């Protein structure tokens, strides 16, 4: 079974909790769909990814691209915190990010899957929301897994199942519920899970990290209908 997660954005405790949940659910390998950094100025998610790098494939997110290429301005960075994050990274962590591809494909017998951060038109930067028109895409893969929007969903359009795994560290719909997916390619089963990240949020609020108020406000959002199965710690 494959555990798929995305958009940790420096929330190390939430990322670690997601991995623990996935292991308990039977995941024996992982695919991380990008944005380990950004918003929360911490290198901890990268440290954790390096610990399991023999078990995980990582896809490049837009925040990794901005960080490694210094593609931000001072006003943006009041929110993104990429300059601060870049100074926290070790050389190993920086080189690790630079090794990530912008997409990954796998075949499973007659089925196949595409793993990206964004959308089909732009693998890194395109936003695909629950209400996006998925019928516009011409895709040969049976499954498409993505992140970037922080809004999780699973939908079948034509012969393809589209899965946005949401955000394990900074949800934009229900702020205290991170999300991830499990994928069993042997039977073609995808399950979307939500898990409580309240303790991780509390740890962030009690830390000395400087985080923009608009980012902290996301943790209080309750903006959409629940998507996925709630998993208990």
pLDDT at 228: 73
pLDDT at 45: 97
pLDDT at 233: 52
CA distance 71 to 228: 35
User: Tens of pLDDT along 64-117?
Assistant: 999 999 888 889 999 999 999 999 999 999 999 999 999 999 999 889 999 999
User: Tens of pLDDT along 182-194?
Assistant: 999 999 999 999 9
Count other C-beta atoms under 10 Å from residue 88's C-beta. 16
With a cut of 50, which residues of the chain have pLDDT below it? Answer: none
Instruction: Render the burial of 66-84: b for 16+ CB within 10 Å, e for the rest.
Output: bbbeeebeeeebeebbbee
CA atoms within 13 A on the CB side of 96: 22
pLDDT at 232: 64
SS3 145: strand
Sheet of 177-184, strands arranged across: 56-58, 29-32, 2-5, 177-184, 189-196, 229-231
Give the bridge partners for 180, in sequence order: 193
Q: Which domains can be identified in the chain, with CATH numbers? A: 2-231 (3.60.21.10)
């Amino acid at each position: 079974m494959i555990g798929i997660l995305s958009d940790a954005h420096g929330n190390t405790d939430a990322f670690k909790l997601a991995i623990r949940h996935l292991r308990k659910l039977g995941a024996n390998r992982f695919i991380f769909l990008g944005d380990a950094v950004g918003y929360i100025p911490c290198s901890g998610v990268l440290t954790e990814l390096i610990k399991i790098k023999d078990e995980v494939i990582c896809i490049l997110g837009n925040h990794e691209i901005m960080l490694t290429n210094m593609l931000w301005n001072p006003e943006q960075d009041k929110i993104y915190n990429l300059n601060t994050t870049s100074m926290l990274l070790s050389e190993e962590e920086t080189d690790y990010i630079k090794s990530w591809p912008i997409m990954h494909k796998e075949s499973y017998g007659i089925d196949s899957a595409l793993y990206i951060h964004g959308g089909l038109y732009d693998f890194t930067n395109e936003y695909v929301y629950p209400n996006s028109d998925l019928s516009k895409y011409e895709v040969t893969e049976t499954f498409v897994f993505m992140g970037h929007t922080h809004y999780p969903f699973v939908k079948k359009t034509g012969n393809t199942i589209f899965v946005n795994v949401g955000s394990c560290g900074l949800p934009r719909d229900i702020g205290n519920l991170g999300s991830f997916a499990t994928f069993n390619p042997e039977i073609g089963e995808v399950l979307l899970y939500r898990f409580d990240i309240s303790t991780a949020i509390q740890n962030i609020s009690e830390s000395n990290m400087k985080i923009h108020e608009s980012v902290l406000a996301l943790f209080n959002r309750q903006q959409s209908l629940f998507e996925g199965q709630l998993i208990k710690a």
